[in-house]
Amino acid sequence: MGKKYFTLSFDDGLEQDKRIVTLMKQYGLKGTFNLNSGLFGQRGEVMGLGSFSFRDCEEGVRHRWPFSYVPHNRIPEDEILQVYEGMEIASHGFRHEPLKKLDEQGLRDSVGKDKEYLERLTGDAVVGHAYAQGSVSPAAEAYLKRLGYLYARAVFPSGSFEFPADPLNFRPSSSMILGNAMTLVESFKQAEADRDLLLCLWGHGYEMDYGKGQASWDSLERLFDAVAGQSDIIYCTNSEAFRHI
């Protein structure tokens, strides 16, 4: 017999995470927050272009087209420990760099620098990474392996509950703003754990501010309520799930 692990993964270290962490603790959930230590405290906005396509803008910038804008303000460094108490902090690139085209020095400046900064700040080993924009390469995977990373999360969903064969390039089950997220939760609750299973949902806190469909605070809380309180599910961070197996 296996076990069922449920994890949540949020990127960018945003002010909306404060509300998310409060909700997670209310429902007895745990998760991983992927931070860019070189961008702490940066203020901006995100222009919504579609389900997956967003563009960062400087705060106050407006274009003539009627796009939706929501805050994309990153939490200052002096609040990080308090906001994420009880959660896992993982790296996401020092300044959110896509890794695919970076050479060895570029990887050190992005991943290595982020890992070092976060470990100095938290006093804990950083063993997880989320690829900015889902950008990954064999060289990036090899570099993370040399640094002792346990796992690294990509972007595009697998739609499954299988633990990945390659933990350094694992696809989450789905995004919290996709229409299949709640269906996956219900299927996961009914699944027989004849082997170890993982339901990993990821997202950005700012997506909830759009207030449309799955990208809303009401939908997020309904999802948390649906998955919480199951005696056969282990609610954990990404690193805890990968360490268990």
The number of distinct structural domains making up the chain is: 1
Tokens of 161: 């509950």
CATH of the domain at 154: 3.20.20.370
Task: Report which secondary-structure segment, H or E, holds 151.
Answer: strand 151-153
Query: 11 in a domain, yes or no?
Result: yes
pLDDT per residue as tens, the chain (245 positions): 899 999 999 999 999 999 999 999 999 999 999 999 999 999 988 876 554 445 555 666 555 444 578 889 999 999 999 999 999 999 999 999 999 999 999 999 999 999 999 999 999 999 999 999 999 999 999 999 999 999 999 999 999 999 999 999 999 999 999 999 999 999 999 999 999 999 999 999 999 998 888 999 999 999 999 999 999 999 999 999 999 87
Query: 61 in a domain, yes or no?
Result: no
Query: 155 in a domain, yes or no?
Result: yes
- Beta-strand ranges (E) seen in the chain are 4-11, 31-35, 44-48, 54-58, 68-71, 88-91, 128-130, 151-153, 174-175, 197-204, 233-235
Query: 43 in a domain, yes or no?
Result: no
Instruction: Give the pLDDT of residue 204.
Output: 95
Query: 139 in a domain, yes or no?
Result: yes
Cβ atoms of 161 and 185 closer than 8 Å: no
Instruction: Print the domain residue range for 138.
Output: 4-38+74-244
Name the residue with tokens 């990404």: 238
Cβ atoms of 16 and 205 closer than 8 Å: yes
Query: 117 in a domain, yes or no?
Result: yes
Cα(59)–Cα(233) distance, rounded to whole angstroms? 41
Query: 64 in a domain, yes or no?
Result: no
Query: 226 in a domain, yes or no?
Result: yes
Cα(245)–Cα(242) distance, rounded to whole angstroms? 5
Name the residue with tokens 């890794």: 99
